[in-house]
Structure 1
Amino acid sequence: MSRGMSRLEESSDLVGSPYVRDAHVGGLTGDSVPTGGDDPHKVAMLGLTFDDVLLLPAASDVVPATADTSSQLTTKIRLKVPLVSSAMDTVTESRMAIAMARAGGMGVLHRNLPVAEQAGQVEMVKRSEAGMVTDPVTCRPDNTLAQVDALCARFRISGLPVVDDDGALVGIITNRDMRFEVDQGKQVAEVMTKAPLITAQEGSVRRLRWACCAGTR
């Protein structure tokens, strides 16, 4: 479709149907839009880009708070925002997929990568500020702040649990602990928040809870 077709005056017939019927696009009716090329038996759908559609302000009975824009992507996946980024190497890798997921949409990772790198991209998305991670990325007390910073940047997270040689939790280090540290060669053990991370008993009064929080960085 030419870029001159920049006005969609009536869109009601396009909603819920992939075929053009009575919609007027740039002065052309649906019947006058070429769909099958030289073969009259071919059936094609009308394709529109962002610049081809103009939404005209008008009075509406729709209340914005009750509008539902969610869409069913697959039989098991429903998106809050019906936007999916393209599976192109110049468009969607881990950063775009993370941003799309946070906005309610979905990013489709491209396949122009070795299998191991594709798996790595998926891992970075899944580990990015997830609500619950059963196998978290960890660091050791003898790691440097530079190493921790590199891990946080790689997985786009703000902190890491610190474990000992036996895998037991001994503390946690976050960007709050490292914010004012100049020496990136300093060890994690020197700046981490050490265990026990929760020192207030269950049911403590508010004053004791505030005192507990004030005692940590």
Structure 2
Amino acid sequence: MRLIKKALTFDDVLLVPAYSEVLPRDTSLTTQFTRGITLNIPLVSAAMDTVTEARLAIAMAQEGGIGIVHKNLTADEQAREVSRVKRHEFGIVIDPVTVTPAMKVRDAIALQRQHGISGLPVVEGGKLVGIVTNRDLRFEDRLDVPLRDVMTPQERLITMPEGATLEEAQALMHQHRLERVLIVNSKFQLRGLATVKDIVKNTEHPFASKDAQGQLRVGAAVGVGDETDERVEKLVNAGVDVVVVDTAHGHSHGVIERVRWVKKNYPRVQVVGGNIATASAALALVEAGADCVKVGIGPGSICTTRI
């Protein structure tokens, strides 16, 4: 057997301390992850079913990295994990869960429990007509009455215009002693929601990895099988930032064509292809549209895919 070249893995390398004039506070761990995504720490969690689902992906993004949700789930389950991350921490919630005035109290309570939220904007005919919060429902025992009978009506709402910042939302909440502020356009159509929790989380995690809307970043792994089209569509609809075409041998026709397909159909989504081990493989994936290539076949002690 011919050896290509000598290679090292993590335990084979030791860094020798040397003289430095750089102070810890002056260092930056900012890392370019893909063409369009910069991380604040150079850490990405593995797309393994014993490693990354929503819980770890949230923690990774809060600290400045990103998690890749594994694909050993149904397409709907994986999309829900992605959605949990995107909804966990927002600057401003662009697409909040809403209800209608005709829905019953029991329906609102079920939605609150399902999504882990305390406030539900009430929308009718595309316009904001009220809000239902824990305060409205806490002691309500008439579970079959319509929400219009218990909601806080439009005339009592405190709102702010579309395009407002978190700082403006914070000032308005402080002024009126509110826990949330609804965002509307000139036609009083709901455009977003800001909460005290979101503002607190922003101060607790100043280096969190977020998208342009202030949502936590998250990726998801896919394969190259027949049902991948539907899986990718559901992930994109859930708000995924990165699709990782993840196989043991990334320099293959199926992976290259899948990378090309994702980039063609969803050009705004960042695409990672892998795993690979050669320069020619990297070039092939980049030419297919990959925004990042995943390098390393079998270097770890736990998951060894080297042939």
* Superposition TM-score tier, normalisation by shorter sequence: 0.5 to 0.7
Give unpaired runs (5+ residues) of structure 2.
161-171, 181-307
Match of 2:85 in 1: 125
Contact kept in structure 1, 2:48 and 2:69, CA below 8 Å: yes
Contact kept in structure 2, 1:146 and 1:184, CA below 8 Å: no
1:118–1:168 Cα change, 3 Å: same
Q: Which moved more, 1:103-112 or 1:113-122?
A: 113-122
Q: Give 1:85 deviation, angstroms.
A: 1.4
Question: Root-mean-square deviation (CA), in Å?
Answer: 4.0
Q: Give 1:92 deviation, angstroms.
A: 1.0
Match of 2:153 in 1: 194
Q: Give 1:172 deviation, angstroms.
A: 2.7
1:191–1:82 Cα change, 3 Å: farther
Match of 1:22 in 2: none
If asked which structure has higher relative contact order (CA below 8 Å, sep 6+), I would say 2
**Residues of 2 paired with 1:63 and 1:173: CA distance?**
51
Q: Percent identity?
A: 43
Which structure would you say has the larger Rg? 1
**Match for residue 181 of structure 1 among 138, 141, 154:** 138
Match of 1:149 in 2: 112
Would you tell me which structure has more helix in proportion to its own residues? 2
Match of 1:10 in 2: none
Matching of residue 100 in structure 1 with residue 60 in structure 2? yes
For normalisation by structure 2, the TM-score amounts to: 0.42
Give unpaired runs (5+ residues) of structure 1.
1-37, 201-208
Matching of residue 169 in structure 1 with residue 128 in structure 2? yes
Would you tell me which structure has more strand in proportion to its own residues? 2
Q: Give 1:183 deviation, angstroms.
A: 5.5
**Residues of 2 paired with 1:126 and 1:216: CA distance?**
20
**Count of aligned positions:** 163
1:195 maps to a residue whose letter is Q
**Residues of 2 paired with 1:216 and 1:40: CA distance?**
64
Contact kept in structure 1, 2:130 and 2:151, CA below 8 Å: yes
**Match for residue 95 of structure 2 among 135, 139, 163:** 135
Deviations 1:151-204 (A, max 9, x none): 332xxx55332223x2421223445x37x925577565566443242279xxxx
1:212–1:109 Cα change, 3 Å: closer
Match of 1:111 in 2: 71
**Residues of 1 paired with 2:179 and 2:54: CA distance?**
34
For normalisation by structure 1, the TM-score amounts to: 0.57
